[in-house]
Structure 1
Amino acid sequence: MRPKILCLHGWGTNAEIFQIQSRRLAALLEPHFELVYINGPAEASPGPGVLPFFEGSGPFYGYLNDSSAAAEEAAGGWAEGDLDKLVSDFRREGPFVGILAFSQGAKAAWHLLRRLEEESAAADAGRSLVTPPNSQQRRVGFVVAVCGTAPYFQSAPTADIKRAAAAHVVTGVDTIHVIGDDDLYRAESEALVGFFDAPSRLAVRFPGAHHMPADHAFNASLANLIVHTFDAT
């Protein structure tokens, strides 16, 4: 049985669209992994570049409201129950060895891992020596964040974002940050790197905008890097 990777789409798309967007990389990963695509918990309007190509392919989904600083600061931008639903989907469809996430999906992956860290710490604090570990605890070893957006990026200047990242860093997960040179959200992709533990993160860049990389050679190199990262965890 192949190990599973959870695939999280961007804002205003859905699992089926992300399968199409990631098909070049997926074809190289599928001999090694089972890719599991899920929809975000919140219905959304079509995201950037979705129309007219994916006209009629809705409904469209997202994760959290980060349209403004105030919106994202309210409960982290999550509507009541939406992060719980993502955690529930993670547990129902897993276990997962990794996460492949695009755009807002990468930010959602960070929130997911933070929640799982908190739950794991709480479980550890209350666990007796004879109680076996919870089989649903986090097993994710790596995250691949493609053109990812950063938590609370609109809420503060760069210096404050760096302090927020340092205060809320996710540890124990290898990360590969795929950053487009011409991406409108490149600054957010760069900032997202700081929200993960420094010893286990890597940034790679491609000559493109806010989309999944299309170049075969780049995807082949990225797929090899993902496989190597998994083998090393």
Structure 2
Amino acid sequence: MDTSRAPTPRDTTPLPRILCLHGGGVTAEVFRMQARSLIKFLPDFRLVFADGPFYCNPGPGIVPVYEDCGPFRRWLRWLPEHPAIDDESAVEEVMYNINTAKEEDEGTGPWVGILGFSQGAKLTSSLLYEQQVRLEKEGKSGTEYKFGVLLAGRSPIVSFSDLSRSSATVAAGAISEGFLFEGVSPHVLRIPTIHVHGLNDAGLHLHRKMLGQYHDPETVTVIEWDGTHRVPIKKMDVEPITDAIYKLAREQGVDV
């Protein structure tokens, strides 16, 4: 076969990077496949996918399409059968896997954002809030993310240190499913975020609760689409999301 006319793959190593966090019962590689349309419409970013630290059964909708892509992983506990773990160890495991994915990536561009689906979206807001509160309380943080993208992110945020521990947040080692907090949260994320809500998602009320309780209304962009609990694939559903990412990134000084 004549490959002389084959296009040269684009070098994405210098592009600004977005950390991508999968949902519960998935893997980094499965999320990469689920997010293929997002990757296609974000050519000026390098998307880097991290694996969760804990093994578990496949999440909803993963079988049969991705059943051969295991072992499947999670970031947090959401079922009683998930082995108990103390909060400090849970934080260490999550951060180890994230930092490993970042260190092993060949890219050289700055880390400008986080994008997560489902449990990964919950983690997105939690990590951004940890960055924000550390800057406020300690004057420094190990990350400089400019924005976050939550695809179907449900309430609440997760506490990653004493700075965010309260009745409004779930502990890193606790079971997050069924968590109930009805008051006004003292933990409000002001780092800009895009919230993508599927109008036919059974967890939509929890996604809206996450938005309303834990995010500053002045710094959020909400995108609704006619979908269930999955990553959008069709161009008509994906383009509004990627357009919003470009707009927000530029507003935050990202060179794209």
Shorter-chain TM-score tier: 0.7 to 0.9
Alpha-carbon distance, 1:186 to partner: 0.7
Query: For residues 99-178 of structure 1, what are the structure 2 equivalents within 5 Å?
Result: 99-121=114-136, 123-124=138-139, 137-151=142-156, 152=170, 154-156=178-180, 159-160=182-183, 163=184, 166-171=185-190, 173-178=191-196
Unmatched runs of 5 consecutive residues or more in structure 1: 125-133
What is the aligned residue count?
A: 212
Q: Which runs of 4+ in 1 moved over 6 A?
A: none
Does residue 187 in structure 1 map to residue 205 in structure 2? yes
Pair 1:179–1:65, CA change in 2 (3 A)? same
Pair 1:155–1:202, CA change in 2 (3 A)? same
Does residue 32 in structure 1 map to residue 44 in structure 2? yes
* Deviations 1:30-86 (CA, angstroms, capped at 9, x unpaired): x21000001012112110011111122111111111336xx99x749x736223325
Unmatched runs of 5 consecutive residues or more in structure 2: 1-13, 157-169, 171-176
Q: Do the aligned partners of 1:184 and 1:210 also contact (CA within 8 Å) in 2?
A: yes
Identity value in percent? 30
Larger radius of gyration: 2
Of residues 109-118 and 9-18 in structure 1, the stretch that sits farther from structure 2 once superposed is 109-118
Alpha-carbon distance, 1:223 to partner: 1.0
Alpha-carbon distance, 1:100 to partner: 1.2
Alpha-carbon distance, 1:87 to partner: 5.4
Question: What TM-score does the superposition give when structure 1 sets the normalisation length?
Answer: 0.81
Report the counterpart of residue 41 of structure 1 in structure 2: 53
SS of the residue corresponding to residue 122 of structure 2 reads: helix
Quick one: which of 203, 219, 227 aligns to 2:238? Answer: 219
Report the counterpart of residue 127 of structure 1 in structure 2: none
Question: What TM-score does the superposition give when structure 2 sets the normalisation length?
Answer: 0.74
Q: Structure 2 CA distance, aligned partners of 1:82 and 1:150?
A: 22
Report the counterpart of residue 130 of structure 1 in structure 2: none
Report the counterpart of residue 50 of structure 1 in structure 2: 62
Q: Do the aligned partners of 2:154 and 2:206 also contact (CA within 8 Å) in 1?
A: yes
Which of the pair is proportionally richer in helix? 1
Q: Structure 2 CA distance, aligned partners of 1:227 and 1:155?
A: 34
Does residue 85 in structure 1 map to residue 96 in structure 2? yes
